[in-house]
Structure 1
Amino acid sequence: MTATVPIAKKRRLGEGSKYSRSEILNLKDLFDSHDLDNDGRVTASELMTALKGGPLRQGALSTFRSVDINKNCVLTFNEYLRRIYPYANDREYKVMLAWVKRTPPEEQPEPLFEPTAQQLREIAKMFDRFDSNGDGVIQIQELVATAAALGYDELEVEELFRVTDKDMDGTISFTEFIDLMKMSYI
């Protein structure tokens, strides 16, 4: 007798996007709760006021700086989307922006960092530092060991590894590492 395994229904996501419309709308609500003057932008002062003395307040400024892609000390919803969904393409961003009525869909997403030839050489040197066994890819153990030596939290580094390993082959290729640098360049 053979047991049949029920096939899970695929969850249909929003019009032309692999991301959930409800998640985007919840993110917009979160953004709006930080945008105290309702101008479509969140300043560091607004964020700190919105968080009051809560548990998230301690790391809020560090997070604010990492989300502020263009480093103008003001966060837009576009920047929220770019950081939370770094692998979405421009069409998907346009769809996600259209879901939130107050953000005009024609608003262009914040540009990602594009490294120069010199910066690519520097990124290659960083990659080589993480690739301690020299096999041309970074395994999770290599990333954790090197990042831990630099003072990073092991669990956060493991999560970063999972997000960066786009093809889910258990390694970070040089191309994936460049994409990580483009997304996180400060």
Structure 2
Amino acid sequence: MTAAVPIAKKKRLGEGSKYSRSDVLKLKDLFDSHDLDNDGRVTANELITALQGCYLRQGALSTFRSVDMNKNCVLTFNEYLRSIYPYANDREHKAMLAWVKRTPREEQPEPMFEPTPQQLREIAKMFERFDNNRDGVIEVQELVATSAALGYDESEVEELFRNTDKDMDGTISFAEFIDLMKVSYI
């Protein structure tokens, strides 16, 4: 006769998910520490400010770009969650989101500005002002030179350029410039 061996119960990590609820809550705390204005979104500037003095600051912008799934230059907790738990199915993802208190901004996507035909003509004029050599794209030197004449900080303009150059070809196309105008509500 063999002795009865107790069968270990499976540990349930989080209701509705195979992931740890405490880990998701810690991730939410991390997100909140980066969301300096508490609007439910993390901008590149907020992330850099939050990481001030941290050795991770160097790679913050490249990490920011990789987590920014919809490439709108802001991060939501949803994007944090999807990047940390890429194998979570939709049911698990919904369960994990239910574990954290969401802000109204996270629940509804921010509306994107759609320019009218007249506004598109004005945007085209602005684009031409930055495109000094008239080659149909804006290079970083052109953006920095024109922006410096308007009183903007060179390092901030270079960061704006990197964030706007979605295809990372070293130039800002007219389409990318329009997207910048849509996101910035200018």
Q: TM-score range by the shorter chain?
A: 0.5 to 0.7
Alignment identity in percent?
A: 60
Distance 1:25 1:100, change over 3 A: farther
Within 1, Cα distance between the matches of 2:148 and 2:115? 26
Q: Report what 2:173 is aligned to.
A: 173
Query: SS of the counterpart of 2:135?
Result: coil
Deviation of 1:170 (Å): 0.7
Question: Number of matched residues?
Answer: 121
* Number of the residue aligned with 2:115: 115
Corresponding residue number in structure 2 for 1:29: 33
Gaps of 5+ in 1: 1-20, 35-41, 43-74
Aligned equivalents of 2:181, 2:135: Cα separation in 1: 20
Q: Which amino acid aligns with 1:89?
A: N
Counterpart residue identity of residue 39, structure 2: T
User: In the alignment, is the contact (CA less than 8 A) between 1:25 and 1:99 conserved in 2?
Assistant: no
Counterparts of 1:99 and 1:29 in 2: how far apart (Å)?
Answer: 19
Note the 1:12-161 alignment, pairs <5 A: 25-31=29-35, 76-77=39-40, 80-81=41-42, 83-84=43-44, 88-89=69-70, 95-96=78-79, 98=97, 101-103=100-102, 107-161=107-161
User: How far 1:24 sits from its partner (Å)?
Assistant: 6.2
TM-score (norm: length of structure 1): 0.54
The whole-number CA distance in structure 1 between the counterparts of 2:148 and 2:33 is 35
Structure-2-length-normalised TM-score: 0.54
Checking the alignment, whether the CA contact within 8 Å between 2:164 and 2:176 is kept in structure 1 is yes
Q: Please identify, of 148-157 and 106-115, the stretch whose mean Cα deviation from structure 2 is larger.
A: 106-115
Gap runs ≥5 in structure 2 = 1-23, 45-63, 82-96
Secondary structure (helix, strand or coil) at the match of 2:157 reads: helix
Q: What's the C-alpha RMSD, in Å, of the aligned pairs?
A: 3.3
- Give the Cα–Cα distance (whole angstroms) in 2 for the partners of residues 100 and 181 of structure 1: 35
